[in-house]
Amino acid sequence: MADQTQTPPPWKDTKIVGSATPRIDAYERVSGSAVYPTDVVLPDMLYAAVLRCPHAHARVTRVDATRAEAMPGVRAVITDATPEAKIDWYQGREKPLSRLFDSECRYAGEEVAALAAETPYQAWDAARAITVDYEVLPHVVTEEDALKPGAPPVHGGGNRVGDVQVTERGNVAAGFAAADVVLEQTYRTPCEIHTTAEPHGSVARWEGNRLTVWDSTQGVFFIQSALAASLGLPIANVRVIGHYMGGGFGSKIELSKHTVIAALLARRTARPVKLVLSREETLVAVGNRPANAMTIKAGAKKDGTLTALHLKTVGSGGAYLGDGVGGVDWQVRDLYRCPNVRTEATDVFINAGPARPFRAPGHPQCAWALEQTMDGLAERLKMDPVELRLRNIPAVSQASEGQPPYSSTGLRECLTEGAAAFGWKEARARAKDAAPIRRGVGVAAGLWQGGGAWPPATVLVKLFADGSVNLNMGAADIGTGTKTVMAMVVAEELGVGLDQIQIEHADTATTQFTNPSGGSKTVPTEAPAVREAAIAVKRELLALAGEQLKLPVDQLSIVDGTIVSVADPAKKVAVRELGGLQRRGVVVGVGSRGPDPEGKVVCPFAAHFAEVEVNTQTGEVRLVRFLAAQDSGRVMNRLTYENQVFGGITMGTGLALTEERVMDRARTGRMVNANWHDYKIPTALDVPADQTCLPIDPHDSGCNSVGAKGLGEPATIPTAAAIANAVGHAIGVRLTDAPMTRKRVLEALHQRR
C-alpha cells in the first residue's frame, strides 16, 4: 500500500488530460446496458406507490387503508400510524426525527401514505383506494401573499423564516451619495423545477438488519448517514449504491422521503421494494429553484466605477426546509469591485413543494438582476456594457473574510477574449433589423462562489499484474463525465490506456468517503486525489523496476506501459513483466485531496454573449448565436467540458425564455403545469445552432495539483441575463421578469409605445 503525502508539482505538458475524449462509459450509456437505479430489478421485488395530499393545506383527520389492503397484490401499507415512519431531515446531525407522514399537509403533493404491491399498477390503484378525510385549511402559495398581514400561516405563527439576513460592508448611503448615476429596479425570476431526465427513485433490500439501497443520488454517503439516522441503524449497516444516474442538478443531494418509504416497506414485507416517482411527483415534491423577487439599487461614477450596491430579495423554500434566498446575494457582494454593499434577504414559508439546491443556487437569479442593472448603468453612462464591466474587475474576494485574493481571476479575460471571439463590437454596432424582426446582442458575467473543492476525498488506484487499473472513488458521476476525467488523470500519470481502466465508484460499502457531487466541486476535489494515488502507484512501480533492473529509481520513467532508463533506453522492463508486481498481484496507491490553498479563494468566472432575434409581432425570442467564455481553470476533457457548457446554456435559456412553475394561486394552490407538456424545458429547437465554448485557462497552479476549478454551475449563471440584455438591446426596453414569454415581450413592447 503506497501512500502519497507530498503535493505533486503542476503538470507542464499533458498527453491525455485536455484532449477531447469520449466518455469511457459511452457504449454502456447509449446501448442501454448501463444499469440506472430505475433499471434495477431484483428477484421477488415489490413496487411501491405513494398517496399524496391533493390540497395545498389540509389537516389529515382519518386514513383508512382497509380497502387498499384487500386489493390484489398489496403486501404492506404504511401511514402516519406506522410507528417507525420517521425521517431525518438533518443528515445525521443531532435533531429530532420528523414524521414521514405529517398529520398536517402543507402543500399539494405531500406524502400521506404509501404501500407496496406485486406490480406498479396494483400499487398505484391501491394507493388511490386509501380513504383519507381532510380538513382543508386556507393556503398561501406566493411570497407576496405569505408576507401580507393576516396571511394563512403555513406552520402556525408568521410565515417569515427567521430574521431578515443582512450583510453589509462600507456605507451604501454614502456610496449612493457619491454616485453620478443611481438606478433602482425590481426583477423577478420564476420557480423552476430540476426536471431530471431520470425520475427520483430507490430500490431497497434488507439482509438481516443490513440495508442496501440503489439510489439515484449525487452523493451516496449523504444518503447513507441520513437514512441510517432515519431508520435507527448504524451507518455501516446501510449501503447506498449510486453508479449511473440520470441528472440531479442539486435535487438528488439530500435524502428524500421516497427512499425511506422504500426501505420501510422492504422491511415490512421482507422483500426488495422499488419506488420510482412519476414525472408528476418529481415536479411537485422533490425540489425546485425558488422564485425570487430582487430589488437592486446601484450607483456608479461617470467613469463607470461602482460606488454602491444594495440588494433586497424575497424568496421561499416552500413549506419545509428549503432555502428560499440562499446564494442570491453572493454576486452582488463579490463579482464587481464595489466598496459599499448591503444585502437583505427575506425567506418565507408558502404552501408549495420544498426547494432544494439547484445548479448554482441563487446565482442565475442574482445575475438576472445584477447584470441587467449593469446594462442599465451602461446605457445611462453611454458606455459599452463590456467596457463598464471591465472597469470593475475585482482584485480580491471582497465578500470573503479578510478579503483574500483569488487563486486566479479570469473574469477580465472572459470578457475581453469572449468579446473578441464573439465579434461583440461589430455585432453590437450592426443594424440587422428587418421588421418585424429585431436583432440584439447582450453580455453578462458571473462568478460561482463554490467550485474550489469539498474535501475530504480518499481514492485508491489498484494496478493489476498486467498493468490494467481499477480506480476506486466515492464520487458519483452525475452525468458530467467524472469517470472519464478521472480515468484520464490515471492514464496521464501511468501511461495506461483508457480501455484498461475500470472504475468502482459511488458505493458506501466499497469506496471511501466523499462529499456529494455538487457545487461544481467534483473535479477539483477528486482529480488531485486521483493524481496523488496514481503517482503513489507509479513510485511503487519504479521502485520494483529499480530492483529488477538494478538501477536507481530517479533514473527511471514510465512510457506507454514500459519502465525505461532515462540514461539508457535499452534498459527497460514492461510493467507486466515486473516480478514484484506478479508476486503481489496488485500495487495499490492511496491519494487524498490536499488542503485548500492558504489565504486564497478559488472561484470560477464566466462571461456569456448572446445574439437574439425578437419578433415584435408575435413576441417570440429566438436565440441566434451564443458564446460562453469560461474560466474554470484547466480543461480536463475538452469534449465533456463543452458538454457541460452547452448544457448550462440550455438550462439558462429555460430560465430566460420558457420555464416557470405555475400555481393555481387563488383557488386550489396546486401546481397546474406539473408535467413535461406544460412545464416547458428547452428542446433542441430552442438552442442556437451557432454556439461556442471558449475556455479561458488562467494556468492556476495554486487552486490544486491539477489546476482545474469547477465548471458545472458557472456555465449556467450568466446565460439568462445575457439573453435578457440582448433582448433589451433588440427592442429597447428591459424585461424585468423571467421567463421572457411572448406575452411579456408583447407587454413590454406595448409599454414602450
Residues that bind its own copies (CB under 8 A): 1, 3, 25, 27-28, 31, 33-35, 39, 41-43, 92, 206-210, 221, 225, 228, 234-237, 239, 270, 456, 458, 460, 462, 464-470, 472, 499-502, 504, 507-515, 583-586, 588, 590, 592
Phi, psi of 354, deg, nearest 5: -65, 140
Please state the closest distance from residue 513 (CB atom) to its own copies, in A.
4
Q: Give whichever of 519 and 702 is closer to its own copies, judged by the CB atom.
A: 519
Q: How far is 593 from 248, CA to CA, in rounded Å?
A: 24
Phi, psi of 360, deg, nearest 5: 60, 65
Q: Please report which residue ranges of 178-278 form alpha helices under DSSP H.
A: 220-231, 257-269
Q: Give whichever of 227 and 381 is closer to its own copies, judged by the CB atom.
A: 227
Paired with 124 in beta bridges are none
Please state the closest distance from residue 333 (CB atom) to its own copies, in A.
26
Please state the closest distance from residue 118 (CB atom) to its own copies, in A.
16
Q: Give whichever of 338 and 469 is closer to its own copies, judged by the CB atom.
A: 469
- Residue 135: which H helix or E strand, with range? strand 131-136
C-alpha gyration radius of the chain: 27
The one-character DSSP state at 508 is T
Q: How far is 314 from 445, CA to CA, in rounded Å?
A: 23
Please state the closest distance from residue 522 (CB atom) to its own copies, in A.
16
Please state the closest distance from residue 683 (CB atom) to its own copies, in A.
29
CB 679 within 8 A of CB 659: yes
Please state the closest distance from residue 477 (CB atom) to its own copies, in A.
14
Please state the closest distance from residue 117 (CB atom) to its own copies, in A.
19
CB 538 within 8 A of CB 723: no
Q: Give whichever of 121 and 513 is closer to its own copies, judged by the CB atom.
A: 513
Q: How far is 185 from 310, CA to CA, in rounded Å?
A: 11
Q: Give whichever of 13 and 598 is closer to its own copies, judged by the CB atom.
A: 598
Please state the closest distance from residue 503 (CB atom) to its own copies, in A.
9
Residue count of the chain? 753
Q: Please report which residue ranges of 507-578 form alpha helices under DSSP H.
A: 522-549
Q: Give whichever of 23 and 438 is closer to its own copies, judged by the CB atom.
A: 23
Q: Give whichever of 550 and 583 is closer to its own copies, judged by the CB atom.
A: 583
Helix, strand counts (H, E) of the chain: 19, 29
The one-character DSSP state at 701 is S
Q: Give whichever of 236 and 566 is closer to its own copies, judged by the CB atom.
A: 236
Please state the closest distance from residue 745 (CB atom) to its own copies, in A.
47
Please state the closest distance from residue 469 (CB atom) to its own copies, in A.
5
Q: How far is 49 from 521, CA to CA, in rounded Å?
A: 35
Query: For residue 695, how many C-alpha atoms fall within 13 Å in the half-sphere facing its CB?
Result: 22
Residue 133 makes CB contacts below 8 A (sequence gap 6+) with: 60, 61, 62
638-653 vs 719-731: helix axis angle to the nearest 10?
Answer: 50
Q: Cis (ω within 30 of 0) for the bond into 739? A: yes
Kind of pairing between the strands at 46-52 and 111-117: antiparallel
Q: Give whichever of 271 and 356 is closer to its own copies, judged by the CB atom.
A: 271
Q: How far is 119 from 152, CA to CA, in rounded Å?
A: 40
Q: Which amino acid is at 365?
A: Q
Q: Give whichever of 462 and 709 is closer to its own copies, judged by the CB atom.
A: 462
Q: How many CB atoms lie within 10 A of CB 121?
A: 13
CA–CA distances in Å: residue 683 to residues 289, 446, 678, 692: 20, 24, 13, 18
Please state the closest distance from residue 4 (CB atom) to its own copies, in A.
9
Please state the closest distance from residue 239 (CB atom) to its own copies, in A.
7
Please state the closest distance from residue 508 (CB atom) to its own copies, in A.
8
Q: Give whichever of 23 and 297 is closer to its own copies, judged by the CB atom.
A: 23
Our measurement of the distance from residue 563's CA atom to the centroid of its chain's CA atoms, rounded to an integer in Å, reads 42
Please state the closest distance from residue 214 (CB atom) to its own copies, in A.
13
- Cell numbers found for residue 536: 503513489
Q: Give whichever of 202 and 372 is closer to its own copies, judged by the CB atom.
A: 202
Q: Give whichever of 3 and 184 is closer to its own copies, judged by the CB atom.
A: 3
482-494 vs 522-549: helix axis angle to the nearest 10?
Answer: 30
- Cell numbers found for residue 425: 463590437
Q: Please report which residue ranges of 432-517 form alpha helices under DSSP H.
A: 482-494
Please state the closest distance from residue 281 (CB atom) to its own copies, in A.
24
Q: Give whichever of 177 and 509 is closer to its own copies, judged by the CB atom.
A: 509
Please state the closest distance from residue 30 (CB atom) to its own copies, in A.
10
Closest CA to 606 of 440, 486, 451, 501: 451
Q: Give whichever of 400 and 470 is closer to its own copies, judged by the CB atom.
A: 470
Q: How many CB atoms lie within 10 A of CB 424?
A: 23
Handedness of CA 355, 356, 361, 367 (dihedral sign): negative
Q: Give whichever of 2 and 724 is closer to its own copies, judged by the CB atom.
A: 2
Q: How far is 659 from 626, CA to CA, in rounded Å?
A: 19
